[in-house]
Amino acid sequence: MQTRNSVTDFAFEVFFDGECPLCRREISMLRRLDTAHRLRLTDITQREFDAAELGTDHSTLMRRIHGRMPDGTWVTGVEVFRQLYAAVGFERAVRFSRWRPISIVLDFFYERFAANRLALTGRRCDDACPIQPQPKEVTS
């Protein structure tokens, strides 16, 4: 886990599950690509990590990927990946991912992945699982 200096010493901070093999692989790749050191990569599974210091809880951070802009604004889901890849120089791919048809597909597949991430990465999830299903929103 990187140390926290000031909120503005990074272009984007991501909060990732360091016990997830897929997450570790992607973070490792981003570390290599981040030659300008614009990213803050925070492993939420480290003992010293305290979600309460950020005004949230571990379960919320485990449900879906979260990131934070330098001004403290929270970002979740696919937008986190856009911010990460823009910070390491993939602005064209990020612009493409914002195109509405592509964005809809990416959001759809990310939500399915996030809901099943532990099983898909070979990790067991039972009643004590840090990822608890969100209640469905009822709209009228």
In sequence order, what are the residues at sequence separation of 6 or more whose Cβ sits closer than 8 angstroms to the Cβ of residue 120? Answer: 22, 113
- Mean pLDDT, 10 residues at a time, the chain of 140 residues: 56 96 95 97 97 95 96 97 98 97 97 90 60 44
Report pLDDT for 122. Answer: 80
Computed over its alpha carbons, how large is the radius of gyration of the chain? 15
Report pLDDT for 7. Answer: 52
CA distances (Å), origin 9, targets 4, 36, 39, 79, 105: 9, 12, 9, 20, 33
Tokens for 109, please give them.
């597949």
pTM: 0.81
* Distance, CA of 22 to CA of 134 (rounded, Å): 23
